[in-house]
Structure 1
Amino acid sequence: MTLQVVPMQAVTPISVLGTTLVFAAFLSITAHLAARNVLGDVDPRRALYIGPLPAVIGVVGGAFAVTEALLVPLALLVDGVMFAWSYDQPRRAVAVMTAIHAVITTLLGIIVLGIVVLVASMPG
């Protein structure tokens, strides 16, 4: 598999906004799964507050080529702050939800990327 470079003409404000919104939705879904894992039955609307800020950090950090050594801890910190604000839980529960959120997001991201690569490489 070869890596394809996207020409700069393909990057528009609409494409950046769309990428950020899809990433925020994905992070919100995985945040809800993490919260359900720790807290049980929770309101799914609370997870909608969690996804957007880490998504913006990822997209803006990627656009400005900020190193992952800075982006990942920053995104995890913001993720934890948003879990604490949204679910109003003790620090231990917030730390567990944040860790589970990172694991779920990583695993589902790998699975989705694998499916996209498989579909993109289909003959015909």
Structure 2
Amino acid sequence: MDALTLQTAAGAPVTAVAGTFALFALFLSLTAHIAARNVLGDVELKKAFAVGPVPAAIAVVFTTFGWNSFVALALALGLDFGFVKFLYGRSNRLSAYVVTIHFVVSVLLGLVLFGLSAILMTAPF
């Protein structure tokens, strides 16, 4: 609890942490839907909204407390696999493929959005 207190005392209000979590969960839900749609075909959007917040919550908690990011990544991928398998009802192999595509799409789209953000922030106006 000390790390959370220090982070909020340093100027990051709870609403900023909650907003970061919400945007990251929305981003991961979007990429989960893209991955599931590309692998499985026509799928329901609401299932992706159940998958996205799980890795986002892990990222926020592990970052807040300064825990090992490799453990966070492994846990996030494992829980992502569990949620995809449960929600979409597919085999282990197909669920692992969806999770792999979800990871790749998230990294690629994140890099593109971060790059665009960096370019726009440094652009002269």
TM over 0.5: yes
> How far off its partner does 1:9 sit?
3.9
Q: Write the distance in 2 (CA, Å) between the matches of 1:115 and 1:8.
A: 31
Q: Which residue does 2:122 correspond to in 1?
A: 121
Q: Which residue does 1:59 correspond to in 2?
A: 60
Q: Measured at CA, do residues 117 and 8 of structure 1 come closer, stay the same or move farther in structure 2, by a change above 3 Å? A: farther
Residue type of the alignment partner of 1:16: V
> How far off its partner does 1:113 sit?
0.4
Q: Which residue does 2:32 correspond to in 1?
A: 31
Q: Write the distance in 2 (CA, Å) between the matches of 1:9 and 1:82.
A: 35
> How far off its partner does 1:95 sit?
0.3
> How far off its partner does 1:7 sit?
9.5
Q: Write the distance in 2 (CA, Å) between the matches of 1:83 and 1:73.
A: 15
Q: Which residue does 2:91 correspond to in 1?
A: 90
> Could you tell me the TM-score, scaled by structure 1's length?
0.91
More helix by share: 2
Quick check: 1:102 aligned with 2:109?
A: no
1:39-60 residue CA offsets vs partner (Å, 9 max, x unmatched):
1011111100001111000011
> How far off its partner does 1:10 sit?
3.0
What are structure 1's unaligned runs of at least 5 residues?
A: 1-5
1:20-76 residue CA offsets vs partner (Å, 9 max, x unmatched):
000000000000011011110111111000011110000110111111221111110
Equivalent pairs counted in the alignment come to 119
Q: Which residue does 1:40 correspond to in 2?
A: 41
Q: Write the distance in 1 (CA, Å) between the matches of 2:110 and 2:19.
A: 17
Q: Write the distance in 2 (CA, Å) between the matches of 1:71 and 1:7.
A: 21
List structure 1 runs of 4+ shifted beyond 6 angstroms.
none
Residue type of the alignment partner of 1:40: G
What are structure 2's unaligned runs of at least 5 residues?
A: 1-6
3-state secondary structure, aligned to 1:123: coil
Q: Which residue does 1:3 correspond to in 2?
A: none
Does structure 1 retain, via aligned residues, the 8 Å contact 2:8–2:14?
no
User: Alpha carbon RMSD of aligned pairs, Å?
Assistant: 1.6
